Amino acid sequence: MADYVKHLTLSDQFFREQGSRGATGELSTILNRVTLAGRLIANNVLRAGLEGRLGKTGGVNVQGEEVKKLDEVSNEIFKEVFDRVPVVAGLASEEMDDPHLFAHTDAKYVLLHDPLDGSGNVDVDGSMGTIFSVHRRLDVAKPVGLADFLRRGSEQVAAGYLLYGPATMFVYTVGGPVHGFTLDRSVGSFFLTHPELRFPQSGGAYSVNEANQAKWTPAVQGMVQAFREGRTQCGARSARYVGALVADFHRTLIQGGVYMYPGEVKKPEGKLRLLFEAAPLAFVAKHAGGLASDGTSEILDVTATKLHQRSPLYIGAAQDVAEVVRLLRG
């Protein structure tokens, strides 16, 4: 018998949480559906190379048929998975201009997600991920609309991610501890391999695309240079950059340090999406004892005004993010 059967499965964990919250099971069902979408996406990603579905821009397969981009396929999977069960009234995605609304209009929650983060990594057999965030609707008596999605990060009721690496992992929080599960593909179950994840207090890496150096403000350049040269109050850091946010964040959560995607002089808002990337990971970071900032405000304190709003992101161990903010202030 495999040793890991001693770990709780995801449904055991939901059962425990539900009992302690006196909840009705809707949130657990949402999380369960997210993991179903994740298993389907993992399967797709795993087979992409064999089935000639590599390439960031889709393209044509060996039969000469047009192939959908993997991130579009992943988005479709989420739509299908949440069409079947009446637990979210709407779905917003990095892949869709506007929210997709379901027929079950009385559902209490909405879901926001980045279906396939780091999808460019598919060509190099690198890690990718899915990021998600759950909000309670403002008023179930009113029709679901954009306002239900344009929220403050601190209002999230659940958030997390799936990491498609050598193993598929599911990491989430419902506002309590952050738990990490590893998928046993052969039986299709997630096992609680990483209970109560917390950022380490020291060590780890700073993680940033240094090729953007010339595009940064002097303040950002100086701050990154301090990390590069080990002149920080939080201590010397190594450097790592996968180029897939979920993978870079997950490493930061396990090994410590800070992930950065700064704004640029010509693009002060940076690249990452507030609602689909920054805020959900900020919610996870906070509940793992970490911090997330846009350089001036905490990410969780920002209220979105646009669905596809971008934000600079500095996220990781609390002492590292505090050091970033201190250095940016000068």
**Residue (of 124, 329, 321) closest to 234 by Cα position:** 321
The binder of ligand F6P chosen from 29, 209, 221, 255 (CB under 6 A): 209
| 211, burial (CB in 10 Å: exposed 0-12, middle 13-18, buried 19+) | exposed
**Does 184 help bind Mn ion (rule: CB under 5 A)?**
no
Distance CA 66, CA 64 (A): 7
| Segment interacting with ligand F6P, rule: CB under 6 A, options 7-15, 68-76, 151-159, 237-245 | 237-245
Q: How many Å from the N-terminal Cα to the C-terminal Cα in the chain? A: 57
Does 245 contact ligand F6P by CB under 6 A?
yes
Helix, strand or coil, per DSSP, at residue 76: helix
State yes or no: residue 114 binds Mn ion (CB under 5 A): yes
118 contacts ligand F6P (rule: CB under 6 A): yes
Closest separation in Å from C-beta 213 to ligand F6P? 12
Dihedral, CA atoms, 274, 279, 280, 283, nearest 10 degrees? Answer: 170
Residue with Cβ nearer ligand F6P (248 or 294)? 248
CB-based contacts of 120: which residues, under 8 Å, 6+ apart? 56, 243, 244
Residue 36's identity, in one-letter code, is: L
Residue 257 engages ligand F6P in binding (rule: CB under 6 A): no
Among 244, 282, 300, 328, indicate the residue that binds ligand F6P (CB under 6 A).
244
Using the minimum distance from each CB to ligand F6P, give the nearer residue, 271 or 326. 271
CB-CB contact of 158 with 134 (8 Å): yes
- What is the smallest separation between the CB atom of 239 and Mn ion, expressed in angstroms? 21
Residue 209 binding result from Mn ion, ligand F6P, none, given CB thresholds of 5 to 8 Å by partner type: ligand F6P
Query: Rule CB under 6 A: is residue 70 a binding residue for ligand F6P?
Result: no
Binding at 243: pick from Mn ion, ligand F6P, none (beta carbon under 5-8 Å per type): ligand F6P
- Read off the amino acid at residue 301: D
Burial class (CB in 10 A: 0-12, 13-18, 19+), 295: buried
Q: Which among 56-64, 117-125, 155-163, 292-300 is the span making contact with Mn ion, rule CB under 5 A?
A: 117-125
Smallest gap from residue 195 Cβ to ligand F6P (A): 26
Residue 207 exposed, middle or buried by CB count within 10 Å (0-12, 13-18, 19+): buried
The single residue among 58, 126, 243, 268 that binds ligand F6P, judged by CB under 6 A, is 243
Q: What does the binding site for ligand F6P look like in residue numbers (CB under 6 A)?
A: 117-118, 209, 243-245, 248, 271
Q: What does the binding site for Mn ion look like in residue numbers (CB under 5 A)?
A: 114, 117
